[in-house]
Chains A and B, each alone.
Chain A
Amino acid sequence: MDLTIMMYLIPSLIMFACGVYGFITRKNLIAILISLELMLNAVDINFVVFNRFLFPGQMEGMFFTMFAIGIAAAETALAIAIIINIFRAVKSVDIREINKMKF
């Protein structure tokens, strides 16, 4: 059986939808961060797949994905650091209790 482009895109779409759903509904900061990563990775898959199927002779999509993964790692580290600091301050990572910056 040939691997068609849809076989990559549909799991990627599911991953992205899960990410969106998790981002909107989860109350735990860590879970929100994981959802964010899911969306990012779904997009990365799309990049690679489109590069592979539409422009087979070129490598820009691959490199862009590598680049995005690198940035995502750095960003995750930053986000984790913020979450840890919030936890130290509020003793919780529940997003409903982190509303002190509102006022």
Chain B
Amino acid sequence: MDMTLPLLILVLPITMFLILGLCGMKMSHKLAGTLGTIGMGITAILAYTVAFTYFFSGNPDFVTAEGVRQQFEVFNYDWLAFTPTLIVQLGFLLDPISALMLVVITTISFFVHLYSLGYMHGEKGFQRYYAFLSLFTFSMLGLVVATNIFQMYIFWELVGVSSYLLIGFFYTLPSAVAASKKAFIVTRFADLGFLIGILLLSFFTDTFNFVELTSNPGTTISTLSAGGTFMGCSVVTWALCLIFMGGMGKSAMMPLHIWLPDAMEGPTPVSALIHAATMVVAGVYLIARMFPVYCLDEASMDFIVIIGAITAFYAAVVACAQIDIKRVLAFSTISQIAFMMVSIGAARPELHEGLGYMSGMFHLFTHAMFKALLFLGAGALIHAVHSNNYTDMGGLRKYMPITHWTFLIGCLAIAGIPPFSGFFSKDEMLTAMYDNSMFLGVWMTMVAGLTAFYMFRLYYMIFWWEENPHYKDHKPHDSSWTMSLPLIILAVVSCVSGFIPFGHFVTWNGEPYDIHLKMSVAITSIVVAVVAIALATVLYRKKNDVPAKMANSVKWLWTAANRRFYWDEIYMFVTHKIIFNIICKSIAWFDRHIIDGTMDMFAKVTQKVSYAIRGLQSGSIQTYVLWYFAGAILLGLVVWMMVI
């Protein structure tokens, strides 16, 4: 394959970032926005071309005669050659999941660019916003096409920076600044584990390259096993779990999830792009990328499943008790990403050809579409009502029909109602989980039911319940076409994307197979979802006091869920009370008094001595002569004594 197109996919967004970042302030808002959107549109077309070529051209580089899809390095350039064996490369790897991600990222990014034309209209720093969006898109594209784990790490940090910049976009708001710092620090902390994992892995296997690592996973594991054990776990498990820790940070798995709800301080389209559809699934993507290695190490796979299962349930419970609509969506995102994690962690090549892997990636794709839709819909609502809380909404279905219908489609998709896309992917994931263990399947079905419940609770609270009296003064209405068009297109995609024969495109080893709906699982999940939706309908369709009474009867639980089970407080306690107060303060004391003290003592002694003898340097020749004379006499005396 010619390397021009893939290279252009990366070069275009970074060029756009440089143009908008350097010259943006001289442009009008309209020009900057249009330029960014057109640039992103072209990138999307290029990405579609590349993905289409990869999947459908039948080129022997991409797919063998038996139909097994291959990994193909379009280019791989030696960037930093430290020693003959330690070489950091930059390249472009085409395989099913990177082609899939190219499509997802550019699609969502393009719609977010378009949507922001309306949403961010007239905001101060509009050009800067578009520059950052381009930077993010570049970093994310670089991440997914990484040929080696080190390149992935570099772009991994770059998306972290872009996320930081965009969360803190309204930098005059202290809450936005705090949220951006929190996001950056928490993910950086996780990336420390990631880096150690990379070093462990590459130290024992002598390579960063994904293709080399995953084409012979048995060799990788056996060379890693030579590293012995540490604290009861083998080096393999340590390396893989530490790499997964990086994924936990980016994908907001417990206990590193605390940054994602706060990240909602950023502009809503940013939440849709970064904190729902693309960046937060980087962790899932990382595990998928390394899947052939992971699936040979049972312990780390179990670790992923346990973390994912707990997170999914926790986030779903918390989402039921949030008032800010963006936070509900944020927790729903955490829960859904955990779903994907569990799915990939539950996948075993010997069960259903690694169904969990395929369905996890499938859910990543469908979730990106309908979650971006939900976030953009939430943006339209916030734009119309000027508040993030559903308590200021209610009864909006008459005023904002387009937003209403598209939001409803998003809710149906995430709840898993056929024929919307979420049903198909979620059903496959649940099948994989039931195959892995009965308990896991039941647990995740319960989470799916909770998902349906809280999404419809949100839906009814926004669009039904009771009309807010303020609408008389300020009538909410649907937004301009730039904001409505992405909603409509994403809604259509959410309706039809479930019918994509995903098993033909993305499987863990590239061999295509047909997806079969397992009726028992499908019917169970539909029944659970319908019951949950019915419950939400009964409770929240019309204004009544039953929900309030229910909340009051288990007030401690409601408050705890509303406060997110005090995770932020726990972190505050650990960081401020323990780390800052006890550890840091004692270290600071040592630094100030012992280390600085020693240096200060040298300085003080020197100073004292200088003060004492500075009278000698009087500037008066006569004094010097006197001293000279005294010295000469002394010297003479000494010589005289010695002679005698």
Contact = CB atoms under 8 A, between A and B. Distances in A.
Interface stretch (B46-54, B436-444, B622-630): B622-630
A102 B43 CA distance: 74
Contacts of B625: 20, 23-24
Interface in B591-644: 619-620, 622, 625-626, 629
A99 B622 CA distance: 13
Contacts, number: 14
Contacts of B620: 95
A24 B622 contact: yes
B622 A102 contact: no
Interface residues of A, number: 8
A24 B629 contact: yes
A102 B623 CA distance: 15
Contacts of A95: 620, 622
A77 to B, nearest CB: 20
A90 B53 CA distance: 96
Interface in A58-85: none
Contacts of A25: 622
Nearest to A99: B619
Nearest to B623: A24
A13 to B, nearest CB: 13
A36 to B, nearest CB: 10
Contacts of A20: 625, 629
A23 B620 CA distance: 12
B637 to A, nearest CB: 16
B615 to A, nearest CB: 14
Contacts of A24: 622, 625-626, 629
A25 B347 CA distance: 102
Interface in A32-70: 32
Interface string A79-103: 0000000000000000100010010
B626 to A, nearest CB: 5
A23 B626 CA distance: 9
Contacts of A32: 622
A20 to B, nearest CB: 6
A102 B619 contact: yes
A99 B619 CA distance: 8
B616 to A, nearest CB: 15
> Which of B620, B622, B625, B629 has the most chain A CB atoms inside 10 A of its CB?
B622
A23 B622 contact: yes
B240 to A, nearest CB: 72
Contacts of A102: 619
Contacts of B619: 99, 102
Given A20-B625, A25-B622, A95-B620, 11 more contacts: A20-B629, A23-B622, A23-B625, A24-B622, A24-B625, A24-B626, A24-B629, A32-B622, A95-B622, A99-B619, A102-B619
14 contacts: A20-B625, A20-B629, A23-B622, A23-B625, A24-B622, A24-B625, A24-B626, A24-B629, A25-B622, A32-B622, A95-B620, A95-B622, A99-B619, A102-B619
Interface of B: 619-620, 622, 625-626, 629
